[in-house]
C-alpha cells in the first residue's frame, strides 16, 4: 500500500563499468580470479560492496526582501519624525535556476572487504581519471542511475545523475589495537552536473 512507510533498502545502484578505466578493471579481474570467491569479475565485486547512497535535497529556495513602507512619516514631539510601521521582510522564491539550490554532491557508502581491493580499485581510478582526463575524464554520456523499487522489488522510479565525477574518498584507520574482525565502511563522494527524475509506469 502506498500509505505504508517506505523501505530505504529498496533501491538498485551500481557503478557503471565504463566509469572504471579498462586497465584498472583488468588488473583487479586478475586479482579476483586468483582468490576463491563467488565473483567472476572486479565490477561485480565492487558493486556488491555498496551499502548505501546519500542523495542531495533542495535547500534555501526562499529569499527575504525588506518591505519598503509608503506610509507618511509621523511627528512625535519627543523623538521627532518616526515611522510607526514595524519593519517587515517579504519571503519570495529565488529568481535564478532552482538547480543551483541542489547540492551537486552525493555520497556512496561501501563495505570494507578483506584485502580492501574495492577501496584501492576506487583509489586508483581517481588517479587515472584525473591524471589522464583526455582518456578517462568525465564525459557527457556518463550517467549514474539509481532505481527505486516497491515492496515487490519492482521498479517504480529512477533518478539519473549526469556527468558524475569523483570528489573524494575517505581515509582508512589502521591500528594494532583492532585485533578482532569488525564490519566497517568507507565513503566516496561524487559530484554531478545535472539531475533527472522519471517515474516508471507499471504494466497493467
What pLDDT was estimated at residue 175?
Answer: 83
- Show Cβ contacts of residue 111 under 8 Å, excluding neighbours closer than 6 positions: 49, 50, 51, 118, 183, 184, 185
What pLDDT was estimated at residue 68?
Answer: 62
- For residues 203 and 181, give the distance between their C-alpha atoms in angstroms, rounded to a whole number: 46
- Predicted TM-score (pTM) above 0.75: yes
- For residues 111 and 47, give the distance between their C-alpha atoms in angstroms, rounded to a whole number: 10
What does residue 158 show for φ and ψ, rounded to 5 degrees? -145, 135
- For residues 174 and 161, give the distance between their C-alpha atoms in angstroms, rounded to a whole number: 33
- The grid coordinates of residue 150 equal 516497491
What pLDDT was estimated at residue 63?
Answer: 73
What pLDDT was estimated at residue 137?
Answer: 66
Taking Cα atoms as reference points, which of 112, 123, 107 lies closest to residue 181?
112
| Conformational region of residue 116, where left means phi above 0, alpha means psi within -120 to 50, and beta covers everything else | left
Please answer whether residues 178 and 147 qualify as being in contact, where contact means their C-beta atoms are separated by less than 8 angstroms: no
Longest pairwise C-alpha distance within the chain: 93
Q: What is the DSSP string of 61-101?
A: -EEEEEPPP-SPPEEETTTEEE--SPP-EEEEE-SS-GGGG
- Show Cβ contacts of residue 32 under 8 Å, excluding neighbours closer than 6 positions: 39, 40, 41, 42, 45, 117
Taking Cα atoms as reference points, which of 47, 40, 46 lies closest to residue 13?
47
The series of mean pLDDT values per 10 residues for the chain, 204 residues long, is 68 92 93 83 94 86 68 57 60 72 89 91 93 74 89 88 93 83 88 89 72
- For residues 160 and 147, give the distance between their C-alpha atoms in angstroms, rounded to a whole number: 9
Question: Environment class of residue 55 by beta-carbon count within 10 Å: exposed (0-12), middle (13-18) or buried (19+)?
Answer: middle
Q: Which domains does the chain have, with CATH numbers?
A: 13-57+102-198 (2.30.110), 62-93 (no CATH)
Per-residue burial over 141-156, b if 16 or more Cβ lie within 10 Å, else e, is: ebbbebbbbeeeeeee
Amino acid at each position: 500500500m502506498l500509505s505504508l512507510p517506505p523501505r530505504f533498502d529498496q533501491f538498485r545502484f551500481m557503478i557503471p563499468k565504463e566509469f572504471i578505466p579498462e586497465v584498472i578493471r583488468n588488473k583487479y579481474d586478475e586479482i579476483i580470479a586468483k582468490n576463491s570467491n563467488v565473483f567472476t569479475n572486479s565490477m561485480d565485486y565492487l558493486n556488491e560492496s555498496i551499502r548505501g547512497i546519500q542523495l542531495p535535497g533542495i535547500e534555501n529556495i526562499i529569499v527575504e526582501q525588506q518591505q519598503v513602507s509608503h506610509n507618511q512619516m509621523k511627528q512625535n514631539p519627543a523623538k521627532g519624525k518616526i515611522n510607526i510601521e514595524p519593519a517587515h521582510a517579504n519571503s519570495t522564491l529565488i529568481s535564478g535556476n532552482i538547480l543551483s539550490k541542489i547540492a551537486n554532491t552525493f555520497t556512496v557508502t561501501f563495505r570494507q572487504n578483506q584485502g580492501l581491493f574495492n577501496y584501492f580499485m576506487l583509489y586508483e581510478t581517481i588517479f587515472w581519471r584525473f591524471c589522464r582526463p583526455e582518456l578517462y575524464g568525465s564525459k557527457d554520456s556518463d550517467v549514474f542511475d539509481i532505481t527505486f523499487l516497491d515492496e515487490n522489488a519492482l521498479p517504480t522510479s529512477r533518478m539519473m545523475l549526469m556527468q558524475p565525477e569523483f570528489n573524494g574518498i575517505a581515509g582508512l584507520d589502521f591500528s594494532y589495537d583492532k585485533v578482532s574482525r569488525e564490519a566497517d565502511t568507507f565513503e566516496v563522494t561524487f559530484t554531478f552536473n545535472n539531475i533527472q527524475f522519471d517515474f516508471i509506469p507499471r504494466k497493467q
